[in-house]
Amino acid sequence: MSELFANMPEEFWWGVMLTASALLLAVQTVAMARRRLARRKRQRRSRRAYRAEERAENLLRKQGFIPLDEQVRQEWTVLVDGQEEVVELIADWIVESEGLRFLVEVKTGEFGPSIRYAATRRQLLEYRCAFDVDGLILLDMNTGQWQLIEFPEVSIERSASSGRQS
- 109-162 pLDDT, tens digit each: 888 889 999 999 999 999 999 999 999 999 999 898 999 999 987 666 655 444
- Residue 123's SS3 state is helix
Give 87-122 pLDDT, tens digit per residue.
999 999 999 999 999 999 999 888 888 999 999 999
Average pLDDT over residues 34-62: 84
Q: With beta carbons less than 8 A apart as the criterion, state whether 119 and 110 touch.
A: no
Q: How many CB atoms lie within 10 A of CB 138?
A: 22
Average pLDDT over residues 30-50: 84
